[in-house]
């Protein structure tokens, strides 16, 4: 039995945040029903590499779900959703603040119908404030939440080249929902959850990225960030390696490994504190030595000295590494429209076992009639709603 079996999730979303959160719940056993616009559906369906009319990005964020097409702009569509909500545990969306209220599907209305409902509203910047109704995309949130400032060097900002704020918001939403479900188990009460991408992004980057903005008293010392010490590529004769020698003992072993132990007696570098103070000069001297060796030679010397290091793998090498096989991390499934596709399994092990991937991502509106029938909507009404253009 998967942990969330018996939980029903009604998802309204475009793009990543709510979709990815609901997908994680589906992987853990929840029945997830994705309510899509009747015209073209979630725009994520059409972005990037695709087959059978479904994009890989959509498939990666929406497996385990069923899709229904409902025109929630029409009163009859809203009424249909209101009926379904009485049997739903979780309602999740990522529309701008106020949109769901205008559609008569806001938190107060839904929780009046079902007081045990966990209603989760994801926004870009929050419900209020000068940016409350501003459009939010991952690069915009990276800029506002300090991720570009943290990635950049010498005050030149840089992006994480992945939808990191979208995905960390999804993880945060999933954790908040399951926490609220646990609260409901103990109290019988539902919950309203507000979550902004801005808050999730800042909370995520703050512990290490904002170390020097945490202590506010004047006598607090300011030191280089850990990320500035660890996140550098070291060029070799034929490539580069990453080395995480994060304390004095590791630095000593790494210098001995490459024949630079004389730097240990140099007054500029003979303590970890001095090394940090003169870091650029130290790195320049050591960098010249690493250029004398190939990547394989550097890896072998450092591993022999028990210094954490790694070759930066290509994407093909990542997927081919033996450790993923040992972890049972990937699986190939067959999608009825997309053919064979690789999936990454949900990371947690429950009872020591990896959860098997759930059903493939749905076609647009693939399950409308099936799902409505499960909610005891009569065949005659389904037919009438279809004729009226409310569902499809």
Residue ranges covered by each domain of the chain? 8-206+328-387, 232-315
- Whether 255 shows a pLDDT value over 80: the answer reads yes
- Whether 166 shows a pLDDT value over 80: the answer reads yes
Same fold, 8-206+328-387 and 232-315: no
pLDDT at 282: 84
Read off the pLDDT band of 249 (50, 70, 90). Answer: confident
Instruction: Work out the average pLDDT over 128-152.
Output: 94
Q: Please give the CATH topology (third level) of the domain spanning 232-315.
A: formyl-coa transferase, domain 3 (3.30.1540)
pLDDT at 373: 97
pLDDT at 283: 82
Q: Which two tokens stand for residue 329?
A: 């991390």
Averaged pLDDT of the chain? 93
pTM summary value: 0.92
Instruction: Work out the average pLDDT over 105-124.
Output: 98
CATH class of residue range 8-206+328-387 = alpha beta
pLDDT in tens, 189-205: 999 999 999 999 999 99
Q: Which of 84-93, 112-121, 253-262, 368-377 is least confident? A: 253-262
Q: Which of 180-189, 265-274, 377-386 is least confident? A: 265-274
Q: Which two tokens stand for residue 259?
A: 């024949």
Instruction: Work out the average pLDDT over 282-311.
Output: 93
Instruction: Work out the average pLDDT over 222-250.
Output: 83
Instruction: Work out the average pLDDT over 147-168.
Output: 93
pLDDT in tens, 332-370: 999 999 999 999 999 999 999 888 888 899 999 999 999
Share of the chain above pLDDT 70, in %: 99
Instruction: Work out the average pLDDT over 23-34.
Output: 97
Read off the pLDDT band of 67 (50, 70, 90). Answer: very high
In three state form, how does the secondary structure of the chain look? CCCCCCCEEEEECCCCHHHHHHHHHHHCCCEEEEEECCCCCCHHHHCCCEECCEEHHHHHHHCCEEEEEECCCCHHHHHHHHHHHCCCCEEEECCCCCHHHHCCCCHHHHHHHCCCCEEEEEECCCCCCCCCCCCCCHHHHHHHHCHHHHHCECCECCCCCCCHHHHHHHHHHHHHHHHHHHHHHHHCCCEEEEEEHHHHHHHHHHHHHCHHHCCCCCCCCCCCCHHHHHCCEEECCCCEEEECCCCHHHHHHHHHHCCCHHHHHCCCCCCHHHHHHCHHHHHHHHHHHHCCCCHHHHHHHHHHCCCCEEECCCHHHHHHCHHHHHHCCEEEEEECCCEEEEEECCCCEECCEECCCCCCCCCCCCCHHHHHHHCCCCHHHHHHHHHCCCEC
pLDDT at 356: 85
pLDDT at 164: 97
pLDDT at 126: 95
pLDDT at 247: 78
pLDDT in tens, 69-113: 999 999 999 999 999 999 999 999 999 999 999 999 999 999 999
User: Residue 202's CB: how many other CB atoms inside 10 A?
Assistant: 18
């Amino acid at each position: 039995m998967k942990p969330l079996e018996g939980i029903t999730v009604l998802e309204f979303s475009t793009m990543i945040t709510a979709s990815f959160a609901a997908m994680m719940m589906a992987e853990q056993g929840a029945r997830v029903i994705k309510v899509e616009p009747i015209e073209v559906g979630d725009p994520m369906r059409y972005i990037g590499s695709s087959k059978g009319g479904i994009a890989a990005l959509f498939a990666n964020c929406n497996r385990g779900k069923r899709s229904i097409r409902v025109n929630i702009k029409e009163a009859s569509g809203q009424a249909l959703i209101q009926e379904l909500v009485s049997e739903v545990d979780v309602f999740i969306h990522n529309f701008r603040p106020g949109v769901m209220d205008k559609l008569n599907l806001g938190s107060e209305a839904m929780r009046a119908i079902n007081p045990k409902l966990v209603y989760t509203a994801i926004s870009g910047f929050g419900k209020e404030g000068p940016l409350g109704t501003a459009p939010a995309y991952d690069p915009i949130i990276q800029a506002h939440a300090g991720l570009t400032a943290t990635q950049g060097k010498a005050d030149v900002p840089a992006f994480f080249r992945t939808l990191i704020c979208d995905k960390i918001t999804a993880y945060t939403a999933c954790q908040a929902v399951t926490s609220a479900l646990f609260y409901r188990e103990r109290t019988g009460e539902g919950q309203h959850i507000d979550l902004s991408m801005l808050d999730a992004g800042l909370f995520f980057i703050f512990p290490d990225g904002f170390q020097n903005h945490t202590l506010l008293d004047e006598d607090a010392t300011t030191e280089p960030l850990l990320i500035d010490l660890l996140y550098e590529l070291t060029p070799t004769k034929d490539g580069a390696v990453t080395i995480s020698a994060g304390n004095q003992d590791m630095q000593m072993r790494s210098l001995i490994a490459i024949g630079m132990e004389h730097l240990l007696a140099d007054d500029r570098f003979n303590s970890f504190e001095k090394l940090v103070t003169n870091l650029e000069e130290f790195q320049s001297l050591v960098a010249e030595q690493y250029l004398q060796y190939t990547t394989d030679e550097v890896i072998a010397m450092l591993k022999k000295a028990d210094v954490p290091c790694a070759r930066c793998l290509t994407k093909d090498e990542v997927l081919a590494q033996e450790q993923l096989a040992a972890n049972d991390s990937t699986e190939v499934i067959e999608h009825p429209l997309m053919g064979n596709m690789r999936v990454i399994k949900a990371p947690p092990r429950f009872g020591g076992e990896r959860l098997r991937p759930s059903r493939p991502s749905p076609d647009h509106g693939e399950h409308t009639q099936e799902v409505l029938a499960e909610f005891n909507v009569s065949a005659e009404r389904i037919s009438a709603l279809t004729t009226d253009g409310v569902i499809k």
